[in-house]
């Protein structure tokens, strides 16, 4: 077992987290307070994004055209919001034929090119401790943000920044030992991060579930912020149209 641990500070350098120990810092109590609820600072940031878009919508001289709304409903399901980066899992029924739920389906009705993890990688992910799993998710999102999210709209970038801040806070709260964390980042994490970073943001975050032993409050906060990005994507479509296809 590890010796008594000290709080750690996370710094993102190059492609991996850098663990920096505070010198002379008092040890954090094992009775650490509960994770902040989604209604804290991070939750307010996400809500401000939605509120700003709603205010823009209210100032429009006319409502979005019925054609734009019709295209949105007919071409996508409810779960397709934010496709391809932030949508829900692909709908199996839609892939193999016709989904009877249509636009109300909570799964995505668009084409997905996510690279699946191998059986051994999935087994390894399931064996990770809570802080190890969070570090893999965090680093995968950082790489995804650096290479694939630069062209995303501001509401998406802000949402991801909020999600990363929430993950940092929880990793620090769990305060893994410095030596253990550094060894994990150098020896175990790299192949998992490399594979996971090739998947979409929502696919990466699908591993952040209470079923994997994570704090339920953390999972709720992450889900809420991802949902805010999806809703903002719908509002942005109604306000500006499909900007990605126009560029």
| Token code pair at residue 74 | 């007919």
In a domain, 8, yes or no: no
109 and 80 Cβ atoms separated by less than 8 Å: yes
pTM: 0.68
Question: What is the distance between the alpha carbons of residues 42 and 59, in angstroms, rounded to a whole number?
Answer: 27
In a domain, 150, yes or no: yes
In a domain, 57, yes or no: no
Greatest alpha-carbon span in the chain: 65
pLDDT band at 213 (very low <50, low <70, confident <90, very high): confident
* Residue-level pLDDT at 56: 55
Query: Phi and psi (nearest 5°) for 9?
Result: -115, 135
Q: Which helix (H) or strand (E) holds 222?
A: helix 216-240
| Token code pair at residue 18 | 């850098």
In a domain, 186, yes or no: yes
124 and 212 Cβ atoms separated by less than 8 Å: no
Mean pLDDT score of the chain, rounded to an integer?
Answer: 77
* Residue-level pLDDT at 200: 93
Per the structure, the complete domain to which residue 196 belongs is given by 41-50+115-239
| Apex 182 CA angle, 158 and 187, nearest 5 | 100
In a domain, 109, yes or no: no
pLDDT band at 245 (very low <50, low <70, confident <90, very high): very low
In a domain, 208, yes or no: yes
**Number of domains making up the chain:** 1
Measured in whole angstroms, how far is the alpha carbon of residue 154 from the centre of its chain? 15
* Residue-level pLDDT at 195: 93
pLDDT at 208 over 70: yes
The sign of the dihedral angle between the CA atoms of 241, 243, 244, 247 is positive
Question: What is the distance between the alpha carbons of residues 150 and 155, in angstroms, rounded to a whole number?
Answer: 12
In a domain, 178, yes or no: yes
In a domain, 60, yes or no: no
Q: Where would I find the beta strands (DSSP E) of the chain?
A: 8-13, 16-21
* Residue-level pLDDT at 131: 94
Give me the percent of the chain exceeding a pLDDT of 70.
Answer: 64
* Residue-level pLDDT at 108: 93
pLDDT tens sequence across 135-192? 999 999 999 988 877 778 888 889 999 999 999 999 989 977 788 888 898 999 999 9
pLDDT at 232 over 70: yes
Averaged pLDDT, 75-102: 87
């Amino acid at each position: 077992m590890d010796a008594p641990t000290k709080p750690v500070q996370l710094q993102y350098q190059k492609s991996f987290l850098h663990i920096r120990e505070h010198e002379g810092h008092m040890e954090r109590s094992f009775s650490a307070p509960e994770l902040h609820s989604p209604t804290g600072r991070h939750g307010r940031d996400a809500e401000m994004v939605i509120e700003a878009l709603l205010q823009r919508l209210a100032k429009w001289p006319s409502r979005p055209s019925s054609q734009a709304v019709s295209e949105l409903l007919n071409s996508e399901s409810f779960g397709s919001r934010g496709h391809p980066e932030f949508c829900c899992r692909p709908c199996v029924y839609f892939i193999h034929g016709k989904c009877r739920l249509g636009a109300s389906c909570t799964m995505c009705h668009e084409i997905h090119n996510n690279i699946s993890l191998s059986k051994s990688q999935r087994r390894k992910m399931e064996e990770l401790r809570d802080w190890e799993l969070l570090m893999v998710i965090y680093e995968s999102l950082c790489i995804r943000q650096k290479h694939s999210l630069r062209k995303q709209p501001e509401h998406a970038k802000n949402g991801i920044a909020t999600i990363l801040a929430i993950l940092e806070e929880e990793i620090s709260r769990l305060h893994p030992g410095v030596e253990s964390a550094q060894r994990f980042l150098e020896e175990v994490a790299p192949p998992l991060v490399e594979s996971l970073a090739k998947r979409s943001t929502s696919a990466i975050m699908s591993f952040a579930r209470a079923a994997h032993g994570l704090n339920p409050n953390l999972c709720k906060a992450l889900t809420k912020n991802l949902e805010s990005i999806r809703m903002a994507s719908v509002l942005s479509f109604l306000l500006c149209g499909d900007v990605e296809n126009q560029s």
